[in-house]
């Protein structure tokens, strides 16, 4: 985003989970109650929403509309349920899966952050395993990038985005 601030923005999702240390409302997520989240679902306010680790996450239509009106390309950080929902919508999108090199590497990264308890780590690893299996479905993603080296993964992403948009 720093290299292309006028082109791309990351969608700020809504969530029912509590903020982690250092996270800010409206920057990292829009933190809402379960009731407010369910109201948005009832009002068809999300392009996608899913349950993950016992919490709800969703991308609001208003968030995307606000950014596209500014001429930005909105990037969504979503799980497989979100991918399925957006694929069933009229939204034109490209689907890129950023995968860990292995579940062991992911576990080491999660533990290294020091922000999650054991139960949360196990839920995330289980979900990651499901996501990795889903990523093997033919045609579900346009590109899969292995995040074993941040700079290499970024360069691969940037190359894909710009070669695909020509």
Tens of pLDDT, residue by residue over 84-98, are: 999 988 888 899 999
Question: Is the residue at 71 inside a domain?
Answer: no
Statement: the pTM of the whole predicted model exceeds 0.85: no
The residue range of the domain holding 151 is: 94-166
Statement: residue 114 has pLDDT above 90:
no
Residues involved in catalysis:
20, 113, 124
Question: Is the residue at 55 inside a domain?
Answer: no
Question: Is the residue at 127 inside a domain?
Answer: yes
Q: How far is CA 161 from the centre of its chain?
A: 17
Number of domains within the chain: 1
- Specify whether the CB–CB gap between 32 and 15 falls below 8 A: yes
Question: Is the residue at 130 inside a domain?
Answer: yes
Residue 147 is part of a domain; what is its CATH number? 3.40.50.300
Statement: residue 1 has pLDDT above 80:
no
Question: Is the residue at 32 inside a domain?
Answer: no
What pLDDT digit, counting tens, does each position of 39-73 carry?
999 999 999 998 887 899 999 999 999 999 999 99
- The token pair at 73 is 């390309």
How far, in Å, CA of 58 to CA of 81, rounded?
Answer: 10
Question: Is the residue at 141 inside a domain?
Answer: yes
User: Could you tell me how many residues make up the chain?
Assistant: 166
How far, in Å, CA of 12 to CA of 15, rounded?
Answer: 10
Q: For residue 19, what are the CA distances in angstroms to 67, 81, 147, 151?
A: 24, 22, 25, 28
How far, in Å, CA of 123 to CA of 151, rounded?
Answer: 28
What per-residue string of b and e applies to 81-113 under the rule 16 or more CB within 10 Å gives b? bbbebbeeeeeeeebbbebbeeeeebbeebeee
* φ, ψ (nearest 5 deg) of residue 84: -60, -45
Q: For residue 108, what are the CA distances in angstroms to 37, 67, 145?
A: 32, 35, 19
Question: Is the residue at 56 inside a domain?
Answer: no
What pLDDT digit, counting tens, does each position of 16-30 carry?
999 999 999 999 999
Question: Is the residue at 138 inside a domain?
Answer: yes
């Amino acid at each position: 985003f720093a290299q292309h601030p006028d082109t791309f923005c990351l969608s700020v999702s809504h969530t029912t989970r509590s903020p982690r240390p250092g996270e800010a409302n409206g920057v990292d997520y829009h933190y809402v109650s379960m009731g407010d989240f369910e109201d948005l679902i009832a009002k068809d306010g999300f392009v996608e929403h899913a349950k993950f680790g016992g919490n709800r996450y969703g991308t609001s239509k208003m968030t995307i509309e606000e950014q596209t009106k500014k001429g930005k390309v909105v990037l969504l950080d979503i799980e497989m349920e979100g991918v399925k929902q957006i694929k069933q919508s009229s939204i034109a999108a490209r689907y890129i899966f950023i995968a860990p090199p292995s579940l062991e590497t992911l576990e080491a990264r999660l533990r290294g952050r020091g922000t999650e308890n054991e139960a949360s780590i196990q839920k995330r690893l289980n979900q990651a395993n499901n996501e990795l299996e889903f990523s093997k479905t033919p045609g579900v993603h346009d590109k899969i990038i292995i995040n074993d080296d941040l700079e290499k993964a970024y360069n691969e992403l940037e190359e894909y985005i710009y070669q695909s948009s020509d």
